[in-house]
Amino acid sequence: MADNLVIVESPGKVKSIGKFLGKGYKVEASVGHVRDLPKSQIGVDIENNFEPKYITIRGKGDVISKLKKEAKAAKKVYLATDPDREGEAISWHLANLLNIDDGQKCRVSFNEITQNAVKSAIKQPRKIDMDLVDAQQARRVLDRIVGYKISPLLWKKVKKGLSAGRVQSVATKMICDREEEIDNFVSQEYWTIISRLAKPKVSPNFEARFYGTENERLELSNEEQVNSILKEIEKSQYIVKKVKEQEKKRAAAAPFITSTMQQEASRKLGFTTKRTMMVAQQLYEGVEIKGHGSVGLITYMRTDSTRISAEAQSEAREYISKKYGQAYIPQTPKVYKNKSASQDAHEAIRPTYIDMAPDDIKDSLSAEQYKLYKLIWSRFIASQMSSAVYDTVSADISAGRYIFKANGSKVKFPGFMVLYIEGRDTEGSSDEERDEEENNNLPELVQGDVLELKKNTPKQHFTQPPARYTEATLVRSLEERGIGRPSTYAPTITTILSRGYVIKEKKFLLPTELGKIVNDIMKKHFVDIVDAEFTAQMENELDAVEDGEKPWKDVMKDFYSSFAGVLKQAEESIGDVEVPEEISDVICDKCGRNMVVKHGRFGKFLACPGFPECRNTKAIVEEAGVLCPLCQGKVLYKKTKKGRKYIGCERNPECSFMSWDMPSNETCSVCGSFMLKKSSGRKNELKCSNEKCPSNSEDTAKKTK
C-alpha cells in the first residue's frame, strides 16, 4: 500500500518530520507558496467583488508536478504547512492544485517540531480553516491594491523603482517624524548637585542628589542658581531627616514573542530583524545535533502570545529545581498576560527540549545559532524562576533648608537574575537613577545622624532630543501602536532600507532625502495610508476576518470606497517632483564631474551624474585615522559582503595588512604602531597592530588604564 504523503513548506523540515513519522509516511516540501497574484499586473478584479486572480508561481512547475504525482499515489495527503495565516493559505492553495475536497480533514499543524507534537497532529487532522485563509487573502489583496495603485504614481511623479505600502509607509513616516522632532528640538540647560557624604567612622562614602526643599522639588536651571545654593549650604550640617527601608521584588521578563526576540537580539547580539528571523527559522525547522539527528530546537517563531504549555512549564520548574534549588521556583507557576490584540493560537517562543542546554550542544550549532538559541533558552528558563528580591533604602538628608535624597539597594536574593537580565534600548534619566541606586552602597543610616560632607559636585547638563529609532525600538513602537503583526516586522524594515527611504548609520535608522520626499507626498495625498491609527484599525479588521466575525470582501469594500476617490484626486494634484542629489567633492576620474552619493543594497556609494554616458562608480571610503604598520598608507574601515566590519590598508592588494580588531587611540610603546582593541577576550585587552613587533611575539596583551 502506498505511503501517506505529508507536505511541509520548507525542505529544512523534511528530515526532522520524516524521522518522527517513520515508515508509512513520505514527507515532501512545497518550498513556500505555490500560487500567488501575478507580478506583471494588479491581479485583483476590483469590479468583480475583489476576486483575486491566482497563478502558479514561476519556477514552481517541477515542484507542483512532483507533488501531484506523489499525491495521486498516496493513501492520504496531509498538509502540514506553518501554523499561521500564511501557512493556512499555502495549504488551501495546495488543496486546490491537488484536487483535495474542501470538506476533507487534511490539515495538520504543530507549534513545535518534536515527536509528540508531530505524531499528535497527524492523529487529529482537521479541515482547512477558511477564516484564517480569508484573513491572509484580505491582507494580500489589500496590500496589492495599495502597492499597485500608489507605486506607479510615485514612479511617474518622482522616480522609478519606488513603492508604497500600508505598513512600510507608516514605518517610514515614524522615522521621518522622529528626525523632524530631533531637528526642531531646542535643548534646555539644567544642573544637578551631587553631595559625596560619609557617616563618621563608617565606610564607604555614598552619594546624595539635590532634591529641593522639604515641601517642593526645585529644578536647577542655571549656574547662578546653583552657586547661590552651594554658598547657602556651605557651612550647613548634613543631617538624616528620614529613612525608609523597603523590600522590593523584580519579576523576570516574559518568554519571547516575535517582537521582543527581535528587540533583544538587536540589543544583545547586534542582529538585524531579518537575521534574527533567518536564524530562528533554522532553529525551528531542525539542526543536526550530534547523537540526536535533526532536532527542532525552538517552537514556532512568529507569535504574539506569551502563553506556554503546562508540560513545558513543568519541565522548566523541574530543571530549575535541580540546577538552582527549590528557592528559585515560584510557589505558583508564572503566567504572563498577553496584549489584548494578540492572537493566542501559538505559544511563546521557547526551547522544545529543556534538557538541551545551549552549552551542551554548542559544537553542533553555528555561532549565530548558538547565540540566538542561548538567548531564547535563557529567557524562557528565567521567565519561570522566582523574582529577585532587593533591600532598598531611601534617605532624606537636610542641609540647611534644602533636602538631598540618597537611594541605595542591595540584592537580597538574585532569583532569575542568576541566569538572565533583559537588556535596555537607551540610557534615559530613569535608567541613570536606577543604576545610581543599584551602585550606591549606603551605610546604616538612622534619623538624626550627622554626616560629613566630602565634596559637592555641581554638574551642567542639557536636555537631549529623542533618540533615533533602531530596528529594535522601531519594532517595539510598531507593536505598541498595533501596526503590523509578527510576520511583517522584519520584511517592513528590509523594504524601507532596500527602497532607499531609510539608511542605517551604526545602528540608527535615518530618513534619506528620497524618503522625506515620498513621505511628504504620502502625508499630503494619502492621509489614511500613513496614519498609524487607521493602519492599526485595519489590522483589527483583519483579525475580525480571522475570528470569523466579518467577511473579507466586506473589509475590502469598506476600504476601497474611500481609497478610490483619494487615488483619483492624488493623480490629478501631484506634480513632478525632483529628488535632489547629494553632491560629493570627489571628481569622476573619467569625465571630470563631481560624483554624487547614491544608495544601494549594500549602503552608500559614489556614482557619476553623467549616467548613462558615464557609468563610473566608486566606494565611499571611511578612514580609520591611523597609518598602516606595514607601509604607512592610510587604514580604511571596510565591510565584507555579509556586513562584517574590518580594517585594511588603502594600498590593498599591494599591501596585505587587515584586521578584524578595531584601532584604539593608543600607540605601542615598543614600535610606535597603533594598538588594536582585541575583538575576543576581555574588553580592555590591546595588542600591537604590527605583527612583527616584539610585544606580540612575547604574546603579552597590554591592558588599558
Catalytically annotated residues: 300
Please name which of 460, 419, 487 lies closest in space to residue 167, comparing C-alpha atoms: 487
End-to-end CA distance of the chain: 76
CA distances from 306 to 128, 152, 259, 277, 564 (A): 25, 41, 11, 18, 39
- 9-30: b (≥16 Cβ within 10 Å) or e: bbebbbebbbbbbeeebbbbbb
Amino acid at 372: L
Please name which of 637, 611, 642 lies closest in space to residue 625, comparing C-alpha atoms: 637
How many Cβ atoms from other residues are within 10 Å of residue 273's Cβ?
Answer: 24
Give the integer Cα–Cα distance in Å for 629 and 676.
Answer: 11
What does the block give as the cell for 650? 588603502
What does the block give as the cell for 535? 493602519
How many Cβ atoms from other residues are within 10 Å of residue 681's Cβ?
Answer: 9
Give the integer Cα–Cα distance in Å for 675 and 660.
Answer: 13
How many Cβ atoms from other residues are within 10 Å of residue 58's Cβ?
Answer: 9
How many Cβ atoms from other residues are within 10 Å of residue 673's Cβ?
Answer: 22
> The cell 507533488 sits on which residue?
67
**Bridge partners of residue 619, in order along the sequence:** 605
Q: Looking at the chain, how many residues does it have?
A: 705
3-state secondary structure of 138: helix
Please name which of 662, 640, 663, 635 lies closest in space to residue 651, comparing C-alpha atoms: 635
Helix, strand, coil percentages (3-state) for the chain, rounded to 5, are: 35, 25, 40
CA distances from 539 to 72, 277, 341, 491, 546 (A): 39, 22, 9, 16, 11
- The answer to whether 28 and 14 have CB atoms below 8 angstroms apart is yes
